[in-house]
């Protein structure tokens, strides 16, 4: 049992069969029918003109940022944004793009007043602000649809492009019970991770206009992300999007189950109301030794993360019964 992340998911049986039978070609030549079909289908399915398959979510975000922004440009993002904090500073290192992080509000949104103040005037002293990048879900929280509408208006008013890091955007769509297009329609570009809760072994997508994706394709090659018979991966990616979306509700239900269970345990502080999707954050009291907890659970064959708050992630390879076992084991640890 592995509660560290939804990246640990194994490909499903259907994926393995599709991968084994995928018709492939050299995708750098544009010759891989399975990649071409996935990109065409994904563009239509999400309401964009074009799509590109990438090796990772990090690469998809980087392609998005580098396609929107040039050297000396700036993007606005959250202080907690994955594409600011957890991607090795790639936009700055590889794109010479300056990030302008803004403190996230407790619900994960960015305040438009603060964003407005951060936009640089047209003056030779400043980098040129080109893009606002949002993340949905962010730390398991869903951005409200009305906020997305406001973000679209805000960026139009300020002549900015709008990007979504949608690594877990399907968790947001399932939690809101809306079609993915109702989220995607507000953005100029969006990324989707196929390899997290959707269980594909490898791969992400960047979606956008034809022009943006053409630029991204050139940059992907430059970054070493041009892959050859990658249809083997795209075959699994298609199943991720067609067969694995609806079951995300099970992960959300299991997250609630875990949150409810752990919140009964002394020293485990959880705001159960805040658990909206597949991620549970637990604030540990000082007397809980999280390293010792991690070590004891590991002996029982249960993997968890470390740190405080402690993060638990639910996914295809853990079931409700596993959640109950985890809760019992934590109880027995606390009892000593």
Ligand X SMILES: *Cc1c(COP(=O)(O)O)cnc(C)c1O
Q: Which residues bind ligand X (CB under 6 A)?
A: 56-58, 61, 82, 135, 165, 167-168, 193, 195, 204
CA nearest to 137, candidates 179, 88, 185, 81: 81
- Taking the complex as a whole, how short is the minimal distance between the CB of residue 252 and ligand X, in angstroms? 16
- Nearest CA to 324 among 336, 314, 311? 314
Q: Which residues contact 46 (CB under 8 A, 6 or more apart)?
A: 180, 181, 184, 190, 192, 207
Q: Nearer to ligand X by C-beta: 35 or 65? A: 65
Q: Could you say which DSSP state residue 312 is in?
A: E
Q: Quote the tokens at residue 274.
A: 């805040």
- Cα 46 from Cα 137, distance rounded (Å): 17
Q: How far is the CB of 150 from ligand X (least distance, A)?
A: 21
Query: To the nearest whole angstrom, how small is the minimum distance from the Cβ of residue 74 to ligand X?
Result: 20
Q: Which is nearer to ligand X, 74 or 165 (CB)?
A: 165
- By beta-carbon proximity to ligand X, the closer residue of 82 and 130 is 82
For 301: left if phi > 0, alpha if psi spans -120 to 50, otherwise beta; the answer is: left
CB of 317 to ligand X, least distance (A): 17
- Output the smallest distance, CB 247 to ligand X, in A: 19
* Cα–Cα distance measured from residue 311 to residue 279, given in angstroms and rounded to the nearest whole number: 7
Whole-number Å distance between alpha carbons of 198 and 325: 24
Residue number of the CB atom closest to ligand X: 57
Helix (H) or strand (E) holding 139: none
CB 8 within 8 A of CB 208: no
The nearer residue to ligand X, 75 or 333, going by C-beta atoms, is 75
Q: Which is nearer to ligand X, 55 or 329 (CB)?
A: 55
The minimum distance between CB 56 and ligand X, in angstroms, equals 3
Residue whose CB is less far from ligand X, 46 or 168: 168
Tokens of 232: 């083997």
Output 197 or 261, the one with its CB closest to ligand X: 197
Taking the complex as a whole, how short is the minimal distance between the CB of residue 191 and ligand X, in angstroms?
A: 7
Residue 134's SS3 state is strand
């Amino acid at each position: 049992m592995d509660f560290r992340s939804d990246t640990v998911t194994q490909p499903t049986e259907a994926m393995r069969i599709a991968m084994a039978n995928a018709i492939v070609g050299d995708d750098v030549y544009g010759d891989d029918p399975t990649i071409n079909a996935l990109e065409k289908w994904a563009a239509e399915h999400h309401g964009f003109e074009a799509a590109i398959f990438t090796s990772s979510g990090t690469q998809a975000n980087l392609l998005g940022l580098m396609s929107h922004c040039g050297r000396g440009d700036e993007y606005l993002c959250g202080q907690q944004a994955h594409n600011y904090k957890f991607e090795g500073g790639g936009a700055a290192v590889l794109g010479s793009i300056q990030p302008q992080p803004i403190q996230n509000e407790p619900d994960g949104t960015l305040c438009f007043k603060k964003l407005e103040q951060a936009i640089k005037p047209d003056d030779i002293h400043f980098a040129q602000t080109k893009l606002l990048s949002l993340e949905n879900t962010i730390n398991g929280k869903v951005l409200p649809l009305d906020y997305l509408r406001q973000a679209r208006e805000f960026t139009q008013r300020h002549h900015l492009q709008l990007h979504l890091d949608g690594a877990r955007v399907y968790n947001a769509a399932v939690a809101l019970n809306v079609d993915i297009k109702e989220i995607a329609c507000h953005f100029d570009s969006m990324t989707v991770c196929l390899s997290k809760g959707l269980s594909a072994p490898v791969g992400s997508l960047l979606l956008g206009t034809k022009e943006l994706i053409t630029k991204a394709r050139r940059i992907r090659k430059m970054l070493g992300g041009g892959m050859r018979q990658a249809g083997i991966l795209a075959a699994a990616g298609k199943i991720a999007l067609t067969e694995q979306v609806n079951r995300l509700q099970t992960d959300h239900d299991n997250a609630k189950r875990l949150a409810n269970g752990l919140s009964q345990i002394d020293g485990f502080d959880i705001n159960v109301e805040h658990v909206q999707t597949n991620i549970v954050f637990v604030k540990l009291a000082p007397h809980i030794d999280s390293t010792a907890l991690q070590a004891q659970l590991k002996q029982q064959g249960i993997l968890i993360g470390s740190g405080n708050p402690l993060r638990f992630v639910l996914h295809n390879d853990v079931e409700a019964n596993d959640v109950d076992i985890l809760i019992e084991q934590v109880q027995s640890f606390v009892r000593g």
